[in-house]
């Protein structure tokens, strides 16, 4: 039986991002209905408001984050028909429709608030991309210099370091997603993101410096 090809690159990241999104929803529902009951949704909303206050963003950045949150909402709730179904059930007179909406509303409210928090953090990661690109460019330049000096100086080749750096780079992004995107607690990205940026820079530098033509 032929072995199925492994996902790599952007497909690998997309797969883990989708799975992470589902896990975030499960964690939010657990916290709202188990840990923070009976005012779980209100507590989750306060977490969102506290994180917005911690960001202290410029108006242009706020507008960008609002667009990101709106885009997430449209993809998850509007395009799937959930938003329209809720509006329709709320407008209908039969008691069964109202009972259905009332029974489903606590879970959907949790999903909506959790989606806002998740989209906010994804937007912050997008705003961090220029810094990531700058650090990556500097690390690649420094790594290339190290690679050139090592090749011309006849130093030892190390495929081990190259492969470990390559894997560390991918897993550092996954770890960032887990630490920053999952916990439904307010976090200040100014203290959380820089260590990951530095770690990605170090991994990129080693990845380039120990690149071998034949691996």
Q: What percent of the chain has pLDDT over 70?
A: 80
Task: Provide the pLDDT for residue 29.
Answer: 92
Bigger pLDDT: 184 vs 143: 184
Specify the pTM.
0.79
> For the segment 103-141, what is each residue's pLDDT rounded down to a tens digit?
778 888 888 899 999 999 999 999 999 998 999 899 889
Give me the chain's average pLDDT, please: 80
Q: What is the spatial distance between Cα 186 and Cα 55, in angstroms, rounded to a whole number?
A: 10
Task: Provide the pLDDT for residue 214.
Answer: 43
Task: Provide the pLDDT for residue 5.
Answer: 59
pLDDT at 184 over 80: yes
The number of CA neighbours under 13 Å toward the Cβ of 196 is 21
Structural tokens at position 102: 């009332």
Long-range pairs of 31-36 with CB within 8 A, sequence gap ≥ 24: 31/184, 32/106, 32/110, 33/106, 33/110
| H or E segment to which residue 152 belongs | helix 129-152
Bigger pLDDT: 148 vs 158: 148
Task: Provide the pLDDT for residue 79.
Answer: 80
């Amino acid at each position: 039986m032929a072995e199925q090809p492994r996902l790599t690159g952007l497909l690998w990241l997309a797969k883990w991002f989708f799975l992470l999104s589902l896990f975030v929803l499960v964690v939010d529902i657990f916290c709202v209905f188990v840990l923070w009951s009976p005012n779980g949704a209100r507590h989750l909303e306060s977490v969102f408001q506290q994180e917005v206050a911690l960001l202290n963003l410029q108006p242009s950045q706020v507008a960008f984050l609002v667009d990101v949150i709106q885009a997430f909402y449209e993809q998850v709730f509007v395009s799937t028909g959930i938003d329209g179904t809720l509006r329709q059930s709320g407008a209908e007179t039969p008691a069964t429709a109202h009972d259905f909406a009332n029974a489903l509303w606590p879970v959907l409210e949790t999903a909506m608030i959790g989606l806002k928090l998740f989209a906010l953090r994804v937007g912050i990661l997008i705003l961090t991309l220029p810094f990531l690109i700058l650090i990556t460019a500097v690390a690649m330049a420094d790594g290339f210099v190290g690679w050139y000096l090592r090749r011309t100086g006849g130093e030892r080749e190390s495929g081990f370091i190259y492969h470990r750096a390559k894997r560390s780079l991918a897993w550092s992004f996954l770890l960032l997603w887990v630490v920053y995107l999952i916990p439904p607690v307010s976090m200040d990205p100014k203290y959380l993101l820089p260590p990951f940026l530095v770690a990605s820079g170090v991994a990129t530098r080693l990845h380039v410096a120990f690149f071998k033509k034949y691996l």
